[in-house]
Amino acid sequence: RCEGRVEVKHEGQWGSVCSYDDSWDVHAASVVCRQLGWGTATRTSTYTPFGAGAGQIWLQPYFCSGTETMLSDCPHLGWGQHFCDHEMDVGVTCSDGVQEWGLHAPPSSSVHASDAGAVELRLVNGSGPCEGRVEVKLRGQWGTVADDTWNTEGAEVVCQQLGCG
């Protein structure tokens, strides 16, 4: 559940991430793992180790420092601009971290490992955008998160995923 082909969501559409010149490394993979709340990168993979994507290729990041908050913060040619085909889609294997679900970062540009059963995330009924009941959207349906072991670490992951600090 903590590995797969890397895809990003931009303008409501999922698309893959590729690497043309072997610039996909542990620095870029660590950004993905951190953004997903899945610990650290234990393996980086290039050239479709988890199968080729289909449709849009959104990002070709290069020379990530590893300190970026989101994969889209790494230098890239622009959304949808690349020198790749789907045979160059990249993947990651993460150490797991504290995350219990395949959540995404901010809705405008989300990331997920495609084999992770991805869902969307939101907070509802709070007094602002960074507080409220946690809900996830899976297969088109919103539902409340219920967890009898919910703790500060889980809450921190949600806050980070939503860009709330």
Under DSSP, the state recorded for 145 is -
pLDDT score recorded for residue 106:
32
DSSP codes of every residue in 35-76: HHT---EEEEE-SSTT----S-EEE-B----S--SSGGGS-B
Please indicate, yes or no, whether the overall pTM of this predicted structure exceeds 0.75.
no
* Residue 150 in tokens: 């919910």
Instruction: Say if residues 58 and 10 touch (Cβ distance below 8 Å).
Output: yes
pLDDT score recorded for residue 50:
84
Cα–Cα dist 60/89, whole Å: 9
pLDDT score recorded for residue 155:
79
Residue ranges, the chain, pLDDT below 50: 98-109, 114-118
pLDDT score recorded for residue 93:
87
The full set of domains in the chain, from first to last, is: 3-94 (3.10.250.10), 120-162 (3.10.250.10)
pLDDT score recorded for residue 108:
34
Give the dihedral sign, CA 71/76/78/82: negative
pLDDT score recorded for residue 98:
42
pLDDT score recorded for residue 21:
73
